[in-house]
A and B are shown apart, each in its own frame.
Chain A
């Protein structure tokens, strides 16, 4: 049995060990002669630098009385009109060459890491929805009475579980993607959904089979047909039991989504690779990328825990 004083001692010891670990990481970082440049990373997450507006042709700058800037090309054609700017660089009548900075615009925009994070969240979310659909359909087929359905479901699950996700992504992108003319994003979502769906199907099957057969019998004896008994009696109980393993599977899905970078989808991982080559700060970038994945997976497991608590009302 745990006494309260024991528990506080445990927490304290944990803090000491964690502090030691962090100090270890910090000092080993100091020792390897690596210059940390965390500030270099910031523009790749959120860029607050003013953005340059570039002249598209050679010509003459014209600033109207109302302050509107346009470039009149030397060799005819429509003038380049700058609809909005914060700071003027070119002055009225200046000779402008293509590529010159003519004005600047203030404000901020997302850097590649933030955009990659968004792509990762988007891909994970869409794949999560589709994998639930696939998983429920194939999980139900797995326990259906018809042998055809059971065989089909077993085949799907075995093929998908028996091959590496990376290989599946290539097959979906290069073969299925070519046949159906899919763009890389769709192919990535399809591969992740099909992969995760197989695992969800097995989890759903386990959940359904963990509901005592008496529940199905009671529902049927009240006149419900198979579909009604499944929908109103068996599945609500099964879903509750499958939430913890599903949470694990969906966290895996978020992490597995990093593999779609091999088909040139600029997700968080690919953005990280690109930023490393631009910023020369690989350690900082990968620590940041890892932390961002942790935030997404942590958010998901928190949400599922909330759901579990809500469903526990009948326990």
Chain B
């Protein structure tokens, strides 16, 4: 822990509250620091606000009160260019959300070409390298409808990486996958963690949390209940966590 405390804070959330229009209080005073190069896994029952919290980190969800700073820049500040910030925080979705009208390669190339307005040949080479890295060098010209769930999610990860983000957010990346495809996606994520990518992962994969996470966070009913290193987390006597783990394990 001391080692991590010395590290630079990349994402800092302070007293984040989210109240939806229908009155649902989804996040209650959530504060969390994520350091550069750190892998933080968020677990919790469905409806606990963990996905909502993740989505506030790149402003797909606005917050009602509190502050979120990415690399020192306040998301809530009206002068912040939110598009610029989103370039730096990639997101991988539960339902992949690949662009169906583009090939795997086209999906990876679109944002660097249109947002960063970079040179096409250069972007194409990088995109091919990224697809190679996620093990899809033979499926570059395939449309998403011709790819399996696991392949689609790997393309989605490559697509996020193409913008060279400072951090990647994963919103239940394996929940929509058939069991035999979970492994290939987790392997890619483990590789990224090893390379030092800052990652915030909402997942139900306890094995991944145990093996890869630097810290594990437990959320319930919109509150951040517990925040510990994996060894301590999974041996914690916390009653609410015990109840949850009893249900899922």
Interface residues of A (CB under 8 A from B): 212, 214-215, 217-225, 228, 232-233, 236-237, 240, 313-315
Contact B163 A222, beta carbon cutoff 8 Å? yes
A297 to chain B, nearest CB (A): 28
B243 within 8 A of A: no
CB of B84 within 8 A of CB of A237, answer no
Q: Is the CB of A222 within 8 A of B115?
A: yes
Contact B99 A223 (CB under 8 A): no
Q: Given A222-B115, A232-B114, A315-B145, answer yes or no on A217-B93 (Cβ-Cβ < 8 Å).
A: yes
Report the minimum CB–CB distance from A58 to chain B (whole Å).
74
Bound-state Cα–Cα, A225 to B143, Å: 24
Q: How far is the CB of B5 from chain A (nearest CB, A)?
A: 29
- Are A223 and B60 in touch, CB under 8 angstroms? no
Residues of B within 8 A of A215 (CB): 97, 99
Q: Is the CB of B101 within 8 A of A236?
A: yes
B86 interfacial by beta-carbon distance below 8 Å: yes
A224-B115, A314-B145 given as contacts; is B110 within 8 A of A232 (CB)? yes
Chain A residues, Cβ within 8 Å of B163:
222-223
Asked if B100 and A222 make an inter-chain contact with CB atoms under 8 angstroms apart, the answer reads no
Contact present for B143 and A222 (CB under 8 Å): no
Q: Which residues of B contact A315 (CB under 8 A)?
A: 143, 145
In the bound complex, what is the Cα–Cα distance between A240 and B58 (angstroms)? 30
Question: Could you tell me the distance in whole angstroms from the C-beta of A43 to the nearest C-beta in chain B?
Answer: 52
Chain B interface residue count: which class?
Answer: 20 to 34
CA of A223 to CA of B89, assembled, Å:
9
Complex Cα gap A207–B131 (Å): 31
Whether B159 contacts A314 by the Cβ 8 Å rule is: no
Beyond A222-B87, A314-B143, 6 additional contacts (C-beta under 8 Å) are: A214-B97, A218-B99, A219-B111, A222-B86, A223-B115, A237-B101
Q: Looking at chain A's contact residues, is the secondary structure mostly helix, strand, loop, or mixed?
A: helix
- Contact present for B95 and A222 (CB under 8 Å): no
Q: Quick one: which of B67-109 are within 8 Å of A by CB?
A: 83-84, 86-87, 89-91, 93, 95, 97-103
With most chain B CB atoms within 10 A of its CB, the pick from A215, A225, A228, A314 is A314
> What is the 8 Å Cβ interface bit string for chain B, positions 145-168, against chain A (1 contact, 0 not)?
100000000001001100100000
With a cutoff of 8 Å between Cβ atoms, the chain B residues found around residue A240 in the complex are: 101
- Chain B residue numbers with a CB within 8 Å of A237 are 99-101
Complex Cα–Cα for A224 and B97 (A): 15
Minimum CB–CB distance for B143 against chain A, Å = 4
Of all chain B residues, the one with the shortest Cβ separation from A217 is B60
Task: List which B162-180 residues lie within 8 A (CB) of chain A.
Answer: 163
Chain A residues near B84 (CB-CB < 8 A)? 223
Q: Which residue of B is nearest A311, CB measured?
A: B101
Known: A228-B114, A240-B101, A315-B145. Contact between A221 and B95, CB under 8 A? Answer: no
CB distance from A232 to the nearest CB of B (A): 6
Enumerate 20 A-B pairs (CB-CB under 8 Å) in ascending A order. A212-B95, A212-B97, A214-B97, A217-B91, A217-B93, A218-B91, A218-B93, A218-B98, A221-B86, A221-B90, A221-B91, A222-B115, A223-B87, A225-B83, A232-B110, A237-B101, A240-B101, A314-B100, A314-B102, A314-B144
Q: Which residues of A contact B143 (CB under 8 A)?
A: 313-315
Q: How far is the CB of B120 from chain A (nearest CB, A)?
A: 14
Cβ contacts under 8 Å, A314 to chain B:
100-103, 143-145
The chain B residue with its CB closest to the CB of A236 is B101
Known: A214-B97, A314-B100. A221 touches B115 (CB 8 A): no
Best-buried of A215, A222, A225 by chain B (most CB within 10 Å): A222
In whole Å, how far is A169's beta carbon from the nearest beta carbon of chain B? 38
Known: A214-B93, A314-B143, A314-B145. A221 touches B58 (CB 8 A): yes
CA distance in complex: A212, B144 (Å) = 15
User: In the complex, A313 Cα to B142 Cα: how many Å?
Assistant: 11
* Chain A residues positioned under 8 Å from B100 (CB to CB): 237, 314
Whether the pair B101, A223 counts as a contact (CB closer than 8 A) is no
Of chain B, the residue at the smallest CB distance from A237 is B101
Q: How far is A183 from B171 in the complex, measured between Cα atoms in Å?
A: 60
Give, as a whole number of angstroms, the nearest-CB distance from A231 to chain B. Answer: 8
In the complex, what residue of chain A is closest to B110 when comparing beta carbons?
A232
Q: Smallest distance from the beta carbon of A248 to chain B beta carbons, Å?
A: 23
A236 cross-chain contacts in B, Cβ below 8 A: 101
Q: Give the residues in chain A near B87, CB-CB below 8 Å.
A: 222-223
Complex A-B, nearest 4 residue pairs according to Cβ-Cβ distance, in ascending order: A223-B87, A218-B97, A222-B111, A221-B91
| The one of A214, A217, A218, A224 that contacts B83, using a Cβ cutoff of 8 Å | A224
Q: How far is the CB of A210 from chain B (nearest CB, A)?
A: 12
